[in-house]
């Protein structure tokens, strides 16, 4: 589950939260995610870069464990 309040505290925009939710729920390549969100792969890469910057993640793979550690993602 994604905690939107915590995500907002880390300055994630609504669209960045949407991207993160899709990544958590479905995963996949940039092409697959961008098709589901009806955006271009380039736009998705921009959103992912902003998420990585805001969460201090070195790469896309690090987003999930960092999100769990800081409470954006909760595991029930």
- The whole-number average pLDDT for the span 19-29 is 94
pLDDT for residue 58: 97
76: confidence class by pLDDT, cuts 50, 70, 90: confident
67: confidence class by pLDDT, cuts 50, 70, 90: very high
**Count of all residues that appear for the chain in the document:** 76
Residue 70: enclosing H or E segment and its boundaries? Answer: helix 60-70
Q: Which CATH architecture has domain 4-70?
A: Orthogonal Bundle (1.10)
Domain extents in the chain = 4-70
Q: What is the pLDDT of residues 37-50, one digit of tens each?
A: 999 999 999 999 99
């Amino acid at each position: 589950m994604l905690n939107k309040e915590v995500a907002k505290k880390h300055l994630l925009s609504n669209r960045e939260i949407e991207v993160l939710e899709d990544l958590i729920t479905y995963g996949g390549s940039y092409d697959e995610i961008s098709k589901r969100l009806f955006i271009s792969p380039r736009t998705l890469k921009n959103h992912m870069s902003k998420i990585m910057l805001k969460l201090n993640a070195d790469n896309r793979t690090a987003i999930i464990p960092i999100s769990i550690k800081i409470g954006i993602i909760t595991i029930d």
